[in-house]
Structure 1
Amino acid sequence: MRRSTLAEWAGGVSLPGYRVASGGVSTLPPGKVSHDEGRHVHPDPEIFLILSGTGRLHLDGEESGFAAGDVLVVDPGEDHHLEAVTEVVTTWLHLEPVPLHPEPVP
């Protein structure tokens, strides 16, 4: 997992070789966990933009805090869950590899 701040991404949020496949905005009430169904991993990176609130990131069995303004880049295969301490609003982005030879647009 890589951590930075929104200010450090002022030129835009992107990872070379990937594009956004899907995303959304989620709100977690205090005490709630983003994925409480057990192990939660993806084959590609996921980016969380923490818009407001504070919480804990559970990553491969370890915990670390996060707060509004943080950008969390979860690498492929990392088991991750966000836990809200205060109400947390986050934008999440699931990424996918950019094809080496994109199909032509008709």
Structure 2
Amino acid sequence: MRTYRLQQLADVTEGHILKDIMPGDYISYGGLAFEKPGARAHTNDGPGGIDYHVHEDCEAFLILQGTGEVEINKEHMYPVKTGDVVIIEPGEDHHLISSVEDPIVVVWCHAGPSRNKNQM
């Protein structure tokens, strides 16, 4: 896992806004999530309800509002807040945990070699 602040992102006029910190020519898929107070994303997501969530590529979280933590490999907890950009590395088991007091609003995305299927 790597973390940045929005202010650290390069002034990008071509390609995608995360191109200097995340591999892939295009944002290929993602979404916007309004997390519930105290929610832990991807709980019991794995096969057979196993509490395990990984990807073969990088995933970015852009924290638009709120506070919380990112859990990595069930061992490390990293605090996050509005303006943080978190890059999850391939193979890292990860869970975003929203605070009770100030729930997280997050954009999450993956980048890849081609555009999203809706843009083709």
If the length of structure 1 is used for normalisation, what is the TM-score?
A: 0.85
Structure 2 CA distance for partners of 1:13 and 1:32, relative to 1, 3 Å? same
C-alpha separation in 2, matches of 1:69 and 1:32: 20
Higher share in strand:
1
Q: 2:108 aligns with which of 58, 70, 92?
A: 92
CA drift at 1:95:
2.3
- Given that 2:63 and 2:84 are in contact with CA atoms closer than 8 Å, whether structure 1 keeps it comes out as yes
CA RMSD of superposed structures (Å)? 1.5
| Alignment partner of 1:22 is 2:36 | no
Overall identity of the aligned pairs, in %: 35
Q: 2:65 aligns with which of 52, 58, 61?
A: 52
Structure 2 CA distance for partners of 1:16 and 1:46, relative to 1, 3 Å? closer
| Alignment partner of 1:13 is 2:18 | yes
Q: 1:79 maps to which residue?
A: 93
Structure 2 CA distance for partners of 1:8 and 1:34, relative to 1, 3 Å? same
| Code of the aligned partner of 2:41 | S
- Given that 2:22 and 2:58 are in contact with CA atoms closer than 8 Å, whether structure 1 keeps it comes out as no
Structure 2 CA distance for partners of 1:16 and 1:87, relative to 1, 3 Å? closer
Q: Which runs of 4+ in 1 moved over 6 A?
A: none
CA drift at 1:17:
4.1
- Show structure 2 runs of 5+ residues with no match: 12-16, 45-50, 115-120
CA drift at 1:10:
4.5
If the length of structure 2 is used for normalisation, what is the TM-score?
A: 0.76
| Length, aligned pairs only | 98
C-alpha separation in 1, matches of 2:22 and 2:54: 21
CA drift at 1:89:
0.3
Aligned-partner SS, 2:7 = helix
C-alpha separation in 2, matches of 1:43 and 1:81: 16
C-alpha separation in 2, matches of 1:10 and 1:48: 17
